[in-house]
Amino acid sequence: MRGLKNIFWLGTKELRSFFSDAVMVGFLIWSFSFSVYSEATGSSESVNNASVAIVDEDRSTLSRNIAAALHRPYFQPPEYIAARQIDTLMDESRYMFVLVFPPGFEADLRRGEQPEIQLNIDATAVGQAAQGAGYLQSIIDREVTEFTELHGTGATPPIGLILRRAFNPNGTDAWFLAVNSILNSLSMIAIVLTGAALLREREHGTIEHLLVMPLNAFQIAMAKVWANGLVILVAFTLSMLIMAEQVLAVPIAGSKLLLTVGAAVYLFAAAAIGILLGTMARTMAQFALLIVMAIIPILMLSGGMSPIESQPDYVQPFTWLLPSRHFMEFAQAVVFRGADIGAVWPVMLNMAALGAVFLAISLLIFRRSITAGR
């Protein structure tokens, strides 16, 4: 019982220290509000406002119909250019796509032949180029199908592919980007705050004062975990309810309470990593370098930037050691798929177990560093 009191009162000291630091409070607010909004709305994996030029050597009704079908928000209004201008204008990055309709395009189609259209792509923007080519193919197939059905030509229309999007019917990128941004902020701030709080005690010389009091390493660590974790959990919850659900209109399909409980479990694991890095570093400069080395793989291998299945085979087994991988799986299941506790409890157990392991390692290193007089 005395140990719990020590953890509680030491944690209140951490809360006072945090709220007295205006820079850290401002950084926390920015990370869970403006940063989330800008990342969700400022970047997109879909084609948006792509520039298109057309070389129309056929000048037929069908070629004009295809050109008219290219419109916002996916494409800018197409501009007509001459064939000799293609290389020069693409070298100047004027157009991302250039469509070339050959002479006799419509006439060949009327005769039941299958004429070809040339599509030139500026592939320096790899994602937009690949997506845009698919969009253009779909638009051209649709227009050609309507034309052949209207005029009864003998050409075989392309096969129609009916898409059914599960959990995101309109394919809205902002839904995934907003949640991913919040989860990344959660990971980064939890690790940074707890590690910096422990290292600040060492740099200010107050860690020795704490150790001569009736406190042990576990109580010191847990006080920093619950104090910093509470602040971050409140910020995470408000960000999900206000920024994600209200401002960005991200529907939370599952239980909000379950999401908050899962976030609390993950915060324990992330804070344990922060304490581990704080005990390994001797100065803030070393801690900053360790943060860079740790945060990049934690975020990149969590499954938020690319699915785990798409990562190299030799990397995938190591992702099981990252609590962020399990939390990303948990959060996406609850937010988008509406999963209940029966579906996600193994993931929550993995997060708690990894957090316990990281905390045990950090306490072991902490005790050894104190014994060695560091």
Report whether pLDDT(29) > 50: yes
Q: How large is the average pLDDT for residues 243-247? A: 90
Rounded to whole angstroms, how far apart are CA atoms 3 and 221?
12
Position 205 scores a pLDDT of 63
Q: What integer pLDDT is reported at residue 374 of this predicted model?
A: 46
pLDDT of residue 131: 80
Question: Tell me, which fold does domain 52-151 have in CATH?
Answer: abc type-2 transporter like fold (3.40.1710)
The pLDDT tens digits of the residues spanning 82-113 come to 988 888 888 777 888 899 999 988 888 888 78
Tokens of 5: 């009191």
Answer with the residue of higher pLDDT: 203 or 344: 344
Predicted confidence at residue 165, as pLDDT, reads 65
Structure tokens at 253: 């399909």
- Render pLDDT for 354-363 as a digit per residue (tens, 0 to 9): 999 998 898 8
Q: Are strands 97-101 and 118-121 parallel, antiparallel or unpaired?
A: antiparallel
Mean confidence (pLDDT) of the chain: 83
Residue 333 contacts by C-beta under 8 Å, 6 or more apart in sequence? 254, 339, 343, 344, 347
Judge whether residue 370 has pLDDT over 60. no
What digits encode the pLDDT tens for the residues 138-164? 888 888 888 887 776 555 555 455 556
For every residue of the chain, which 3-state class applies, written as one string?
CHHHHHHHHHHHHHHHHHHCCHHHHHHHHHHCCHHHHHHHHHCCCCCCCECEEEEECCCCHHHHHHHHCCCCCCECCCEECCHHHHHHHHHCCCCCEEEEECCCHHHHHHCCCCCCCEEEECCCCHHHHHHHHHHHHHHHHHHHHHHHHHHCCCCCCCCCCCCCCCCCCCCCHHHHHHHHHHHHHHHHHHHHHHHHHHHHHHHHCHHHHHHHCCCCHHHHHHHHHHHHHHHHHHHHHHHHHHHHHHHCCCCCCCCHHHHHHHHHHHHHHHHHHHHHHHHHCCCHHHHHHHHHHHHHHHHHCCCCCCCHHHCCCCCHHHHCCCHHHHHHHHHHHHHCCCCCHHHHHHHHHHHHHHHHHHHHHHHHHHHHHHHCCC
The confidence band for 341, taking pLDDT boundaries of 50, 70 and 90, is very high
Indicate the residue type of 68.
Answer: A
Burial class (CB in 10 A: 0-12, 13-18, 19+), 175: buried
Percentage of the chain surpassing pLDDT 70? Answer: 88
Find the mean pLDDT for residues 175-200.
87
pLDDT at position 265, please? 94
86 vs 48: which has the higher pLDDT: 86
Task: Assign 41 a pLDDT band (cuts: 50, 70, 90).
Answer: confident
Given a cut of 90, is residue 195 above it in pLDDT? Answer: no
Q: Taking 80 as the threshold, does the pLDDT of residue 299 lie above it?
A: yes
For residue 45, the model assigns a pLDDT of: 59
Domain boundaries, the chain: 2-43+171-371, 52-151
Residues 117/52, Cβ–Cβ less than 8 Å: no
* Inter-residue contact 363 to 217 (CB < 8 Å): yes
**In 10 A of CB 45, how many CB atoms?**
12
Distance CA 10, CA 228 (A): 12
Least confident of 8-12, 235-239, 266-270, 290-294: 8-12
How large is the C-alpha radius of gyration of the chain? Answer: 28
pLDDT given at position 292: 86
* β pairing state of 97-101 and 52-56: parallel
Task: Assess whether pLDDT exceeds 80 at residue 296.
Answer: yes
When pLDDT is averaged across residues 187-210 and rounded to a whole number, the result is: 77
Distance CA 43, CA 163 (A): 24
State residue 351's pLDDT score: 94
